Amino acid sequence: MKNLTVLLFFMGWSCALAAMDASVSYATFKSPTQSYIEIYLHIAGRSVSFQPVTDSTYQAGVEVVILFKQGEEIVKFDKYTLSSPVASRPLDFIDLKRYGLADGKYELVVAVKDANQPENAKEFQTEIEFDYSGEELQQSGLVLLASYQRSEDPANAFVKSGIQMEPLPYNFYSRHASSLIFYNEVYNADKALTEDFMVSYSIEKLDNGQSETVMIGHKRQKPQPIIPLLVQMDISQVPSGNYNLIVEVRNRAKELMSRKRIFFQRSNPFLDRELETLQLAGEVNLEQEFVQQLDAEALEYSLRALTPKLPQGDVEMVNAMIRDDSINAQRLYLFSFWAKESPNNPEFAYQKYMEVARAIDQQFDSGFRHGFETDRGYIYLKYGQPDDIENRDQEPSAPPYEIWTYYEFPRTNQNNVKFIFYNPSLAPDDYQLLHSTAFGELNNPQWQRELYRDAPNEIQGSDYFGGSEVLDNFNRNAGRVFRDY
């Protein structure tokens, strides 16, 4: 079952608490009598209010509401208070709840609220579906683990199959993590198979819409009604990025019987040898880095300005960090990016880039969004300053437009690359990318028709046979300018 993870990272504790920092995830399982779901909660201690218990100890509490809905009907409801350990300083605390449910589709809602500061609250929602009926081979959900140890304690909710398991919060592996550990169960192998079979587990890297397998392993299994799987993989050499863990079950003929997948993130910013030249051997303490001085507004601004430089696969992750107010996640990502770009002086590289970003913000500000979020600002930050800009705003048959030219374009190994922007709304500085010759950017063979749509009689060729250019005269210069510059 897909894991719901909220990317809300550990925050610094102060008298004025930030929004609650919590991770909610889940996995579904099958028992001999009923299907069930496990809900995993992780609360960052420094994001909730601790109250004195004695002169030197403190404790926090979080009110938790968990409900399952089908349509407007609440099928199952639970409300309780989760208390932290009594300690001399804020500690993270975790919880696990199991609920038996009939197979089907549900809306899961989990709401958490600081018992000592009610306005500090979060709510998470997702849709879940599971069906463990039938006798075909099946798998449980995948659970990523922070740690495990052998235990037979029946009173410990975190014990399953003789193993005490601590779920990994946020599906996030920091640079301190050297192993990926997962737990999975295989069901009905004794009914679906008569021979030994193979469980394969792999890690695939997600980058710009593409996936690449970076690690793979196998385990041979004998058919049994329930097969618990606890697997540990060495990820010390896995670089930062977005990944999927994939667990497959195949029969002896290598036919796929079942497949499960779970998304996770890895931060390993100092993996490369050049990054190791940084004097950060051992602990990476963000509190000593420039990102610690950035407040929530500055962090969001910096990350939005960085969007043109991000790998495509990271854009949604960064947007999620901003959307969820994940302050420490934002700091970690921003620092990791610049540490990789400039290992010897990430702060200097960041400051120089932000000087340009702020200038672009002012230059291309449209009044509706940051200037670097406009098409012109985005292209400028992504590819740098163009070698030539031809501005035309007086042609009677066309809205204002600009043609940018890059004589050399190392990003795609091209020369004489052009971008044309136009302003069909005529709103101040509301220019949109209309066409480009750069590989991977918007390519619109009909761009002249769009630019000169108010002069349809000047189109060369038939509407039905691909007419795409306009007659070249003093009122219609774009085609000639585009070719000549």
Which domain CATH number covers 244? 2.60.40.2550
The three-state secondary structure class of 81 is strand
- DSSP for 294-325 reads --HHHHHHHHHHHGGGS-HHHHHHHHHHHHTT
Element (H, E) at 35: strand 35-43
Among 154-163, 341-350, 471-480, name the most confident range: 154-163
Q: Is residue 342 part of a domain?
A: yes
Q: Is residue 289 part of a domain?
A: yes
Which of 268, 287, 316 is where one domain is finished?
268
How much is the pLDDT for 446? 84
pTM (2 d.p.): 0.56
Cβ atoms of 320 and 329 within 8 Å: the answer is no
Which of 70, 101, 132 is where one domain is finished?
132
The three-state secondary structure class of 167 is strand
Higher pLDDT, 309 or 481: 309
Q: Read off the pLDDT of residues 57-95 as tens digits, 9 standing for 90 and up.
A: 999 999 999 999 999 999 999 999 999 999 999 999 999
Are 156 and 255 in the same domain? yes
How much is the pLDDT for 288? 78
How much is the pLDDT for 471? 53
Closest-CA residue to 186 (of 24, 29, 21, 382): 29
Are 5 and 127 in the same domain? yes
Query: For residue 205, what is the DSSP state?
Result: E
Are 128 and 63 in the same domain? yes
Cβ atoms of 477 and 392 within 8 Å: the answer is yes
Q: Is residue 63 part of a domain?
A: yes
pLDDT at 433 over 50: yes
Are 89 and 208 in the same domain? no
Are 200 and 217 in the same domain? yes
pLDDT at 372 over 90: yes
Q: Is residue 370 part of a domain?
A: no
Which of 132, 162, 190 is where one domain is finished?
132
Q: Is residue 368 part of a domain?
A: no
Are 2 and 94 in the same domain? yes
pLDDT at 16 over 70: no
pLDDT at 54 over 80: yes
Structure tokens at 332: 């970690």
Are 43 and 70 in the same domain? yes
User: What long-range pairs does 319-322 form, CB within 8 A, spacing at least 24?
Assistant: 320/7, 321/7
Are 351 and 411 in the same domain? no
Give the CATH number, domain containing residue 14.
2.60.40.150
Q: What residues make up the domain containing 334?
A: 274-363
Are 166 and 279 in the same domain? no
C-alpha 40/C-alpha 210 separation (Å) is 30
Are 475 and 393 in the same domain? yes
Cβ atoms of 289 and 347 within 8 Å: the answer is yes
